[in-house]
Amino acid sequence: MKIMVIQGPNLNMLGVREQNIYGPMKLEQIHEQMRAFAQQNGVEIEFFQSNLEGELVDKIQECLGDSDGIIINPAAYTHTSVAIRDAIAAVAIPTVEVHLSNIHAREEFRHKSLIAPVCAGQISGFGPFSYHLAMVAMLQILNEIRAMKEMQKQQAANQE
């Protein structure tokens, strides 16, 4: 099982920018926590960050046939990117949207996510712990998919 974690614009500045909103933890520290959790659960994990919308779209498309799930923090593109939304819809890989801050408690323009409707779910407002919750959710989703496939395979074998 492989999970791709995709980080959008300005997340490379975590620990420096607006600590009152995003906290003091750096992106690499969040990734280290996720890596440890993935290892404990026998899951391969890969990380990608870009400030460029097209690179994020390319990475989502590269997940097709390579990754079982995507955890994405589209950051500011959450509210503006039809291209990222369409890429997620196109690959049809289970995706969880994640945000450090509670986007619904912030400025009005942050309340609407163009990405959420094509994701399995959205987790926001728990700081770095949002990523842990996204990992737990993704593992649950992937285990349910695996169980469903096994059940279908068993039903097909029983019908023969």
How do residues 132-151 score in pLDDT, each as one tens digit? 999 999 999 999 999 999 98
Helices (H), the chain: 19-22, 27-40, 53-62, 82-91, 129-159
Least confidently predicted of 20-29, 33-42, 58-67: 20-29
* Better-scored residue on pLDDT, 68 or 110: 68
2-159 under CATH 3.20.20.150, yes or no: no
pLDDT score of 109 more than 80 = no
The pLDDT, as a whole number, for residue 11 is 96
Closest CA to 34 of 133, 158, 117, 123: 133
* Active-site annotation, residues: 22, 99
- The DSSP output letter for 64 is T
For Cα atoms 55, 27, 3, give the angle at the middle one, nearest 5 degrees.
60
Residue 7, CA distances (Å) to 4, 38, 56, 109 in order? 10, 17, 8, 20
Could you tell me the residue ranges of all domains in the chain? 2-159
Q: What share of the chain is helix, strand, coil (3-state, %, to 5)?
A: 55, 15, 30
The pTM (predicted TM-score) of the whole model is 0.91
Q: Which residue has the tokens 């390319």?
A: 58
